Amino acid sequence: MSWNSWVKKVSFCSLVSIIMLGALSNLKAQDKPIVLLMKIDMEIDPRMNRYTELALDKAEEIEADYVVIEMDTYGGALNDADDIRTRLLNWEKPVYVWINKDAASAGALISIACDSIYMAKGASIGAATVVTADGAAAPDKYQSYMRSIMRSTAEAQGRDPQIAEAMVDENIEVDSISNSGQVITFSTNEAIQNGFCEAQVDNIDEVMARSGVEDYELFEFTLDSTEKIISFFLNPVISGILILIIIGGIYFELQTPGVGFPILASFVAAVLYFTPYYLNGLAENWEIIMFFLGVALLAAEIFVIPGFGIAGILGLIFSIGSLILVMLNNDTLDFSFVNSADLFLAVSTTLAGLLGAIIVMFLGGVRLTNTQFFNRIALQDVQDRSEGYVSNFKSESFIGKTGVTYTILRPSGKVMIEDNIYDAFTRGNYIEKGRAIEVIGEEGNSVKVKEVDP
């Protein structure tokens, strides 16, 4: 073999080796485990429930190999915590939790549902007694349910179910761990000793190193722009403005039926108001139906039923009550776990929106009728008497004439006078059909009557 041939062969082999090494390097980079990090660092409520659901959806989308939860919460709503722990138990890939401060109450339940628990120095886990909004222990039916799911969750993950129950019930004694009258709350070292923590670690890298994963790609889950917009509309100030538009739009539409713009604005505001609360699990179907039922009752009271009675009152209760209820995490009108501050915020936000709508109705209504926009969409012509328009076609006065009611007057209807039928109304009282009446006044083409003895 000549020198040139040998050099060419060596060069070719070197080139092939470089390409293969590069391919192997890329393959290795692509084979890095993907770790999705989500943070549970607020109260467990419908918003956190939705956040964890979206996070696991994202983990599935990016084909994450591990999910790590960074935990620091004092707990929250039991039903939302139950949803989250069920979701974690059903997740097929490893889920680790790093408690960097507290995992109390609902946070303890979620932590126990994870495959591995890690804790920072000075962290704690436990104290899972169910309490009401005022801090008192909830009725036993809630405690019993919490004990049950704590036990079953601990069993599913190979942890001591009796200890898990003792985190809820102060009457359960665990030898050498807890005495009667105290619920269990573990420090980091105590949790390690009793199988509720794998190790004390200071960061996510140490969590993964404990699992033999040191070279990985970390994806920290955050809400996308759409979810941030939804969160924006959950702001109480924005909710109050939307309530103002909803109520004001309905009012102006009822005052000027057929205009269309006010009711359109009201409808759009209602969609923007209800949708974020619905997506976050606060607004239930029945609460939204209750609002539209209230609006329908108000419309029926105004256009169909004379006066203002039970339908109008129910309409106000349903519509305003619905606007309050969608902001509260109540369990079908059970407010045991609704914080008093949340209740006050929901009521004050709704009343502020209602007050603003009233101000707009009385102050803005007059100005609206004087705008060029209103002139384009509303009929402004006046049928003056000087131009030949009249509303009374009677050639003589009817005052003092008598007749009978042709229909029931409640308080308006028809009467028959001298074999002719006329529109009539009373001073507010009802008169049955066929009763004798006397005309006591005239207004336009209608007569005002009273019942007389035949």
Q: What confidence tens digit (pLDDT) does each residue in 93-117 have?
A: 999 999 999 999 999 999 999 999 9
Q: How many residues does the chain have?
A: 454
Statement: residue 328 has pLDDT above 80 = yes
Determine the Cα–Cα distance for residues 368 and 384; give it in Å rounded to an integer: 23
Dmax (CA) for the chain in angstroms is 140
Pairing label, strands 66-73, 34-40: parallel
Look over the chain and give the mean of its residue pLDDT values, rounded to a whole number.
81
Statement: residue 28 has pLDDT above 50 = no
Determine the Cα–Cα distance for residues 238 and 70; give it in Å rounded to an integer: 31
pLDDT at 24: 42
pLDDT digits (tens, 9 = 90+) for 395-454: 678 888 999 999 988 788 899 998 888 889 988 788 888 999 999 988 877 889 999 887
Please name the residues in contact with 296: beta carbons below 8 A apart, sequence gap of 6 or more: 315
Q: Which two tokens stand for residue 72?
A: 């620091």
pLDDT digits (tens, 9 = 90+) for 240-284: 888 888 888 877 776 665 556 778 888 888 888 888 888 777 778
Please name the residues in contact with 278: beta carbons below 8 A apart, sequence gap of 6 or more: 288, 326
Q: Write down all domains in the chain, each with its CATH number in brackets.
A: 30-220 (3.90.226.10), 225-377 (no CATH), 388-451 (2.40.50.140)
- Residue with more model confidence, 355 or 7: 355
Q: What is the mean pLDDT of residues 179-206?
A: 91
pLDDT at 11: 52
pLDDT at 25: 44
Determine the Cα–Cα distance for residues 246 and 273; give it in Å rounded to an integer: 9
Supply the pTM of this predicted model. Answer: 0.62
Rounded-to-10 torsion of CA 313, 315, 320, 323: 160
Nearest CA-CA partner of 36 in 65, 16, 3: 65
Alpha helices in 157-306 (DSSP H): 161-166, 188-193, 204-210, 225-233, 236-255, 261-279, 285-303
Q: b/e string for 122-148 if b means 16 or more Cβ within 10 A?
A: ebbbbbbbbbeeeeeebeeebbebbbe
Q: Tell me, what amino acid is at 261? A: F
